[in-house]
Amino acid sequence: MGTGVEEIGGKKLEEKPSKLLAEADWASIGIQLVAHAVFRARGLAWRTADHAELADGLQPEDLAQEAIRKVLQGKRRWDPERGPLLPFLKGVVDSEVSHLAESKDNELQHRFPDGDDGDEWVDRAEFFAPGNDSAGILPAPIAPLPDAERIKREGFADQRLSTLFTAADGTKELQDVLDTIMTEGEWKPSGIAEHLGVPVPEVNNRLKRLRRLADRQQASPQSAEQAAGR
Amino acid sequence: MRDNVMRKTPDTSSEFVALISKAFEASPPEGLEDSVEELRAAGLDPAAVGREIAEFAKAAYAVSPLNWRVSAARERTAALERLGGRHVVPRPRAELETQINAILAQGGKAAAEVRAYFHKNQGRASDEDLASLLSQLEFLAEEGGEDE
């Protein structure tokens, strides 16, 4: 197995990563990397009540490009011996999202002392809701909310649930997933799969369908109906 | 096999949404086909995204230090700067010729070409030309060999 490092004339030339980067199928990588960035951004939006998804007008494509730029500039060092390029780039995107999450938190912390409106509290509370950090990228939680803010947060959650149940309406396999999460408190795909007696990949597919339908429903109820085949 | 941990069923809407968010985050898009579907659901054109990223990566690679063309050009520029900074010591012509011959006698194929050129033009070259040639040969020797 090659080392990716050639010893030539007393100088180490790292030719293998360079060659692989030059010959990479960037169109395919791009589609999968931007899809990953979309997924992470949507995850952040679900947690933060922020429909804009990413701060500062950033788009998922920007995150993907930033990850590629860092690798090609050598700021994030990819070692082919340790794994393929795409998972590495996805990790860099995750890191970018983590930084955005932290800066969003800092922005809210700076805004809060001067703010009369409770929106910052709601955003922040959703953002740091216990157990929302399945990706392990968020900083420590903050103090509990005042009652008024709790009510507002529940109002937002009700809207989310309404969107979800509308998206799942008439599709039993999607409703089964929601029912399992609600009645069993089970969120892991493996646990849901066991409860429903279906394979784990099937549950993963259902969760993706449900999420995408809910996102479509939120963006445009009519297009969601079409996507659901109703 | 399910673990035996007691799960808390959600008491509030926000707890329910939190569990659903975790479930969603446990199911990322995998593979090209799934990624295409993810992009379409987000209102993006997968083909256009692929083209855009490919063009971006191509442009970024063109100026990347990981690109051998870029690193070679940088090394050449740095070497020329080091060469330009060398002080040429005035020496008698005979000494210049002796030292040039001594260095060329140690070289390989490139040295043979320089040697042929040197012997052909030795008589017409000025002292400054010989001093400059010697300086370049000494520089190449110090840099670790000829630039073959």
The region that residue A152 occupies, defined by phi over 0 for left and psi between -120 and 50 for alpha, beta otherwise, is alpha
A200 assigned to some structural domain: yes
Domain extent, residue A97, equals 12-143
Note whether A121 and A35 are same-domain residues: yes
pLDDT of residue A34: 96
Residues of A whose CB is below 8 A from B49: 30-31, 34, 61
A4 assigned to some structural domain: no
Q: How far is A99 from chain B (nearest CA, A)?
A: 18
- Output the domain CATH number for residue A176: 1.10.10
How far apart CA A89 and CA A91 sit, in angstroms, is: 5
A92 assigned to some structural domain: yes
Contacts (Cβ under 8 Å, ≥6 apart) of B4: none
What are the tokens at B97?
Answer: 């010729």
pLDDT of residue A107: 53
Given A143, A166, A183, the domain boundary residue is A143
Note whether A202 and A117 are same-domain residues: no
Mean pLDDT of chain B: 82
A86 assigned to some structural domain: yes
What's the predicted TM-score (pTM) here? 0.66
How far apart CA A26 and CA A69 sit, in angstroms, is: 13
Note whether A127 and A217 are same-domain residues: no
Note whether A162 and A70 are same-domain residues: no
Given A124, A143, A162, the domain boundary residue is A143
**Cβ–Cβ gap B29/A188 under 8 Å:** no
Note whether A158 and A115 are same-domain residues: no
Note whether A157 and A54 are same-domain residues: no
Residue of B4, B6, B22, B33 to mutate for A, most A C-beta atoms under 10 A: B22
User: Is residue A208 within 8 angstroms of chain B, CB to CB?
Assistant: yes
How far apart CA B71 and CA B58 sit, in angstroms, is: 16
Q: One-letter amino acid identity for B57?
A: A
Q: Enumerate the β-bridge partners of residue A6.
A: A13
In degrees and rounded to multiples of 5, residue B111 shows phi and psi of -65, -35
Q: Strand, coil or helix: what is B78?
A: helix
Note whether A35 and A127 are same-domain residues: yes
Alpha carbon A1 to its chain's center:
35
Q: pLDDT per position in chain A (230 positions), as tens?
A: 444 444 444 444 445 788 889 889 999 999 999 999 999 888 877 766 554 556 667 889 999 999 999 999 989 999 999 999 999 999 999 998 888 777 655 554 444 433 344 444 444 444 444 444 455 555 555 566 677 777 888 888 898 899 899 999 989 999 999 999 999 999 999 999 999 999 999 999 999 999 988 888 777 666 656 666 66
How far apart CA A135 and CA B113 sit, in angstroms, is: 63
Q: How far is CA B75 from CA A72, A131, B69, B81, in A?
A: 18, 52, 10, 10
Q: Give yes or no for a contact between B107 and B117, defined as CB atoms under 8 angstroms apart.
A: no
Q: Give yes or no for a contact between A15 and A94, defined as CB atoms under 8 angstroms apart.
A: no
pLDDT of residue A118: 41
Note whether A156 and A121 are same-domain residues: no
Given A143, A161, A176, the domain boundary residue is A143
Total domains in chain A come to 2
Residues of A whose CB is below 8 A from B148: none
The list of chain B residues with pLDDT below 70 reads 1-6, 108-110, 144-148
B19: nearest Cα among A187, A49, A157, A205? A187
Largest CA distance in chain A: 71
pLDDT of residue A54: 66
A230 assigned to some structural domain: no
User: Is residue A45 within 8 angstroms of chain B, CB to CB?
Assistant: no
pLDDT of residue B100: 85
Q: How long, in residues, is chain A?
A: 230
A61: nearest Cα among B33, B31, B55? B55
